[in-house]
Amino acid sequence: MSAFCAGVRVQGSRPLGSTGLTRRARSGLSHRRRSSLRCCLPEESSAVLEVVIRAAEDAASHMMNRVGAEVEKTKINSRDLLTEVDPECQEIIEKHMRSEFPDHGILGEETTPSGRENSVNALERALKEEWLWIVDPIDGTTNFVHSQPMSAVSIGVTYKGELVLGVIVDPYRSETFAAMKGQGTTLNGEPVTVSNEQTAEEALVAAGSPTATDSLHAVIRGLAVMMPEVRSMRMLGSAAVMYGWVACGRLTAYWEPDLHSWDSAAGAILVTEAGGRITDLHGNDYTVRTRSLLASNLWTHEPLRALLLRAEVHNL
């Protein structure tokens, strides 16, 4: 067992101190500690995280300078947009990766043919890589095109198929979210945790604004079932931002009927490392293959998941 792995398991070395945390967040941390005992993070994980943060921040600066870019073309339908800036941001990230870790693989939205089936197949092929960066260079392209300052760079990294770290950079609010397995989640270097709502009635829940027609109808079904039961609903148009805001407690939960791996990889680890939970709609723990999902502050997970099942949001 490497010194790094031993460090991950030592209680005192955690970035999140035990004082000031709620009982619930500590419980979430205990759950993660047990998980981290079963995983062994490779030694270079910290070095990878540093490069991923640099790459994401670099791409995010470029994105912010180009906000309001013209739509180049549409993908699966007229709602699914692509600008020239999306591949530019992906290229910036790839350059960082190739320069520091030339043996790593990348799965990026901009180099994957559009559509659900292509996405699933590309992920299966890519997961053969030992280290894999799963990248959405501009998450929230519709917002980006409309000069709505709500898009982010999202990079999740797997090692032998398991998510080990994630970074989301929101340049409009200068916020960098980062998480590494067993190390907690930080926002601009400060530890953050999910929020404290205990019940669906207290929950502020975010939903997606999907482009695919069947997903849109699934969201409508989900909204209809959720709205009477939760405090309120929000739709921001960027999965990465919504995941980040669940992780730092601004949102209680966020759900989607169908997301690509690059939409969720970073967000999933941010949420779990912040004491939250992310599962498919049957309650199975998230893997990078999960497409229908619910991310929450842990306490509201089961009541919200029950509502989504009732609405049959998962049947895609």
Partner 1 sequence: MDVKDFDSGELSEMLAFVSDLASSAGQIIADAIRAKKLVTNKSQRDFVTDTDEKCEVIILDALKEKYPTHKFIGEEETAKAGVLPDLTDEPTWFCDPLDGTTNFVHGFPFVCVSIGLTLKKQPVLGVVHSPILEETFTAAKGLGALRNGSRISTSGETQMMRSLVITELGPDRSPSTLDTWMGRYRSVAERCRSMRGIGSCAIGMASVACGRADAMYEVGFGGPWDCVAGAALVTEAGGCVFDPSGKPFSVMCRRVACSASPALEWALAEALAPNSSNPSEPEYFAL
Binding-site residues for Mg(2+) sit at: 109, 136, 138-139, 263
What is the smallest separation between the CB atom of 303 and partner 1, expressed in angstroms? 16
Contact between 66 and partner 1 per CB under 8 A: no
Q: Which of 180/218 has CB closer to partner 1?
A: 218
| Token reading at 205 | 């829940």
User: Hey, which residues between 73 and 92 contact partner 1 (CB under 8 A)?
Assistant: 78-79
Chain centre to alpha carbon of residue 312: 23
- Binding segment for partner 1 among 49-57, 92-100, 141-149, 274-282 (CB under 8 A)? 141-149
User: Hey, which residues between 180 and 219 contact partner 1 (CB under 8 A)?
Assistant: 195, 204, 209, 211, 216
Residue 220: how many other CB atoms lie within 10 Å: 12
Contact between 235 and partner 1 per CB under 8 A: yes
What is the smallest separation between the CB atom of 87 and partner 1, expressed in angstroms? 21
Residues in the chain, how many? 316
What is the smallest separation between the CB atom of 224 and partner 1, expressed in angstroms? 5
Selection from 85, 117, 78, 83 nearest residue 211 by Cα: 78
Contact between 252 and partner 1 per CB under 8 A: yes
What is the smallest separation between the CB atom of 288 and partner 1, expressed in angstroms? 26
Q: Write the DSSP string, 87-151.
A: HHHHHHHHHHHHHH-TT-EEEEGGGS-SSHHHHHHHHHHHTTSSEEEEEEEEE-HHHHHTT-S--
Q: Is there a contact between 276 and 246 (Cβ–Cβ < 8 Å)?
A: yes
What is the smallest separation between the CB atom of 39 and partner 1, expressed in angstroms? 31
Question: How many whole angstroms separate alpha carbon 295 and alpha carbon 246?
Answer: 8
Chain centre to alpha carbon of residue 316: 21
Contact between 119 and partner 1 per CB under 8 A: no
Paired with 123 in beta bridges are none
Token pair 């949420």 is found at: 271
Question: How many whole angstroms separate alpha carbon 190 and alpha carbon 184?
Answer: 10
Torsion angle (degrees, nearest 10) of CA 59, 61, 66, 71: 30
- Binding segment for partner 1 among 10-18, 140-148, 183-191, 275-283 (CB under 8 A)? 140-148
User: Hey, which residues between 145 and 184 contact partner 1 (CB under 8 A)?
Assistant: 146-149, 173
What is the smallest separation between the CB atom of 247 and partner 1, expressed in angstroms? 12
Among 130, 190, 224, 285, binds partner 1 (CB under 8 A): 224
Number of residues interacting with partner 1: please give it, by CB under 8 A: 31
Residues that bind partner 1 (CB under 8 A): 78-79, 142-143, 146-149, 173, 195, 204, 209, 211, 216, 220, 223-224, 227-228, 231-237, 245, 249-252
